[in-house]
Chains A and B, each alone.
Chain A
Amino acid sequence: MKERWLERLFKALTFISTIIGLLVLVILLIDVLKDGLPRLSWKFITSFPSRNPDEAGILPALVGSAMLLILTALFAFPIGVAAGIYLEEYASDNLFTRLIEINIANLAGIPSIIYGLLGLEIFVRALRGITGGRSIFSGALTMSLLVLPIIIVSSREAIRAVPRSIREAGYALGATKWQVVRDQILPVAMPGILTGTILALSRAIGETAPLITIGALAYIAFLPPLSLKALQSPFTVLPIQIFNWVSRPQEAFHANAAAAIIVLLVLLLSMNAAAIYLRNRFQVRFE
């Protein structure tokens, strides 16, 4: 039976194709751990970058990534949720709404480096007076634009999952639209919204290209001051620091890059775990 053999071969091939991706993932992780773990230490995390690879650390990059994360959340979360509420609860099906919907799908397909060019022109150059130019402020605003479509889409999905009956109970008691949104819909939809937001933010702290275009520096030998001035200071983030170390010819710097990658992946992993936990812990099920 020729077909029986072909069938077996075909099934095996499809299985191998599925496994190859996972295999590469495992190899990648082992490779990074092997190169980076020996270099990883408390001193590495709390030191400034240096020309001497053995003394260099990731402190400014880690602080920069944390600040970028917080600022991006501050900008993108309220705007994204508000946009999601508008599209689900307020907008009628007209040309404006459809334009926004097509647009959001479209934005997700624009390469991230193009967002970098946008940030460079608008935030770094045109709004220099407010943002301080090549600053963490400009970086966070650029990242906000980048992740906004993700937050909008996940907010919409979470809001759409709230059953009609909850809305109608609110209206029946004489609540206005805003009161229903604030007191009924948002509390129920919040776990879903937060899950989507965390996933969007984990995209933001992994991004490198747009921050290179707007001019994040790799060598920052100080921490930002503890005041609003910090927003306008030059900055670096983990991916930029990794890129800088990978680009150097010396092998010792490559080990630094691997160690920084481990820190970045641990950060991403814990964010994803938080998202999954939120989803499972607070998900309300309606019959």
Chain B
Amino acid sequence: MKWREKAIEGIFALCASISIFTTLGVIAILLFESIAFFRKVPIIRFLTETQWTPLFAKKHFGIIVLGSATFLTTVIAMAVALPLGLMAAVYMSEYASERARRILKPCLEILAGIPTVVYGYFALLFVTPLLKKVIPSISGFNALSAGIVMGIMILPTVASLSEDALYAVPRSLREGAYALGASTRQVVTGVVIPAAFSGIMASFILGVSRALGETMIVAIAAGQTPRLTLNPLVPIETMTAYIVQVSLGDVPTGSLEFRTIFAVGLTLFVINMTFNVLSYWLASRQRRFKL
């Protein structure tokens, strides 16, 4: 009987440790293939070249080209998601009745559950034609449309986590300000938002990390043309879109071209993890405040 209990506990522990193997596996394969890549292409070329043409005869490997595109779409997405998300959080936490809040929050979260390929469709075939009416010079593929739609996708993440942070601010702080005759606007901008600042930043940074890794929207709507630019109206190619492009092509596994996707993946992974850790750290600072 005893050994059976032990065996069951062992199996359960093994299942739990699969999560660790997953992380180790990700790091191992990214490093393994990237090291093989950097043996052929010095890392200095990867970091300093200003062209990205691994699939051409004359090869250049400037990650900055893909990085700038990822940066651009992320900035546009956050320019949409941060103000809208924060304001929505303020409405739900400070103005809405408990009933309205219970309806609004899950409704907003539906946005986060829609498959990204559907957002890609929406960006390419609805938002881009709409933008074309306002900005006739915009290309069929562009960072602006992809970024805006990505911002809408991230909005619920920012709104939901910011709302948690605002909600966690003690009532006594608000009431102190109200007692001095402040309006809700003054209480929110002067007391609640500063008090919840760490938590709001955490939600914002988590949103950034989502945007960095988002793939289908940019692959469909932003194009597959590597270009070093911050112009939101022309086709570009993000890091994730490049991985998709190579995966769809017939690049032989094990070749240098094939290994580029792991070097790009490693770059994405490192940046993404940095933001995740930052977000985690900021969120834990907020929690300490609750005392």
Contact = CB atoms under 8 A, between A and B. Distances in A.
B291 to A, nearest CB: 21
A109 B209 contact: yes
Interface in A1-46: 3-4, 6-7, 10-11, 13-18, 20-22, 24-25, 27-28, 31-32, 35
Q: 4 tightest CB-CB pairs across the interface, nearest first?
A: A111-B213, A206-B115, A17-B87, A86-B12
Interface string B39-60: 0000000000000000000000
A32 B124 CA distance: 12
Nearest to A215: B247
Interface in B230-276: 240, 243-244, 247-248, 253, 261-262, 265, 268-269, 272-273, 276
Contact of A209 (B19, B26, B216): B216
A32 B125 CA distance: 10
A208 interface: yes
Contacts, number: 242
Contacts of B268: 111, 113-114
Interface of A: 3-4, 6-7, 10-11, 13-18, 20-22, 24-25, 27-28, 31-32, 35, 78-80, 82-83, 85-87, 90-91, 99-100, 103-107, 109-118, 120-122, 125, 145, 148-149, 152, 176-178, 202-203, 206-209, 212-213, 215, 239, 242-243, 246-247, 254, 257-258, 261, 264-265, 268, 272
B220 A243 contact: yes
Interface of B: 1, 4-5, 8-9, 11-13, 15-20, 22-23, 25-26, 29-30, 32-33, 83-88, 90-92, 94-96, 104, 107-108, 110-111, 113-122, 124-126, 152, 155-156, 159, 183-186, 188, 206, 209, 212-216, 219-220, 240, 243-244, 247-248, 253, 261-262, 265, 268-269, 272-273, 276, 280
A21 B20 CA distance: 36
25 contacts: A6-B185, A10-B185, A11-B185, A14-B87, A14-B90, A18-B91, A28-B126, A83-B15, A83-B16, A100-B20, A103-B19, A106-B273, A107-B23, A110-B269, A111-B212, A115-B26, A121-B33, A122-B29, A178-B4, A206-B115, A208-B215, A213-B243, A246-B117, A246-B125, A247-B220
Contact of A86 (B15, B30, B114, B214): B15
Given A104-B19, A243-B117, A17 B273 contact: no
Given A28-B126, A90-B9, A107-B23, A21 B156 contact: yes
A85 B9 CA distance: 9
Contacts of A7: 183-185
A112 B215 contact: yes
Nearest to B94: A14
A265 B118 contact: yes
Contact of A118 (B25, B95, B118, B209): B25
Contact of A176 (B1, B16, B126): B1
A40 B111 CA distance: 24
Q: Which of A3, A28, A100 gathers the greatest number of chain B CB atoms within 10 Å? A: A28
A148 B113 CA distance: 17
Contacts of A35: 125
B21 to A, nearest CB: 9
A148 B108 contact: no
B152 A24 contact: yes
